[in-house]
Amino acid sequence: MLRRVIPQALVALALTVATVASASAQPFTEGAAAALIRDANALAAQIRGFHRWSGLTPPPPNYCATMQEGEAVQKQIARLASRAILYRQPGLALALQRAGDALSDELDVEEEVNHQADVPFTAYPCPAPPGPYPARPVVLSIVLAKAPSCRREANALRLSFEARRTLMQQCLRLPGQ
C-alpha cells in the first residue's frame, strides 16, 4: 500500500511546486500600477480642491463619491504595493507608496477638518444636509497650516499606509479635540 501512496504523493507535490513556481513567475502588471497611480494622483488633486469648500454652502456635487473612491483606491494601492514588494520590484512599490501617501494625506486633511468642525454625517463621508457649518473655515485654516509639517514628519518616519494615516490624523488634530 505504501508503495502506491508514495508515488502519488510525489506527483501531487510536483504539481503543487510547479503551480506555485508558475504563479510567482508571472510578471507583475506594471500597467495596472501605473493606472492606479494616475487615479490616486487625480483623486488627491480633486480632494485638495475640496479644501476650498468653506462649509457655508452645500458640499461640492461630487464630494461623497470622490471621498469614497479615494478610500477604495487607497486600499488598492496598499495591496498592489505589497504585491510589488513580493515580486521584488521596490521601485514600483515606492512609486505606489508615494501616490498612496499623497492621496492618504488629502483624505486625512479633509476628514480631520470635518471631524473637528463637528460636521455631521448621514453616511460617512457624506456631510448631512442641511448646512451651513460655520466652524469649517476656521478649522480648515488651522489644519491646512499644520499639514506640511505633519507630512514631513510622516515622510521622515517612513511609515506604512495605516501607521501614516494614524500619525497624520493625530498630528492634524487641534489641541483639546
Q: Between 125 and 21, where is the model more confident?
A: 125
Q: Please tell me the distance from the alpha carbon of residue 176 to that of residue 174, in angstroms, as a whole number.
A: 6
pLDDT at 27: 52
Q: What's the pTM value of the predicted model, to 2 decimals? A: 0.79
**Residue of 46, 107, 103, 108 whose CA lies nearest to 77:** 103
The distance in angstroms from the start CA to the end CA of the chain is 72
Taking only the tens place, the pLDDT of each residue in 16-60 is: 444 444 444 445 578 888 999 999 999 999 999 999 999 988 889
Taking residues 100-107, what's their average pLDDT? 95
Banded model confidence at residue 123, pLDDT cuts 50, 70, 90 = confident
Instruction: Find the angle CA(89)-CA(91)-CA(94) to the nearest 5 degrees.
Output: 110
pLDDT higher than threshold 60 for residue 6: no
Task: Provide the 3-class DSSP secondary structure of residue 122.
Answer: strand
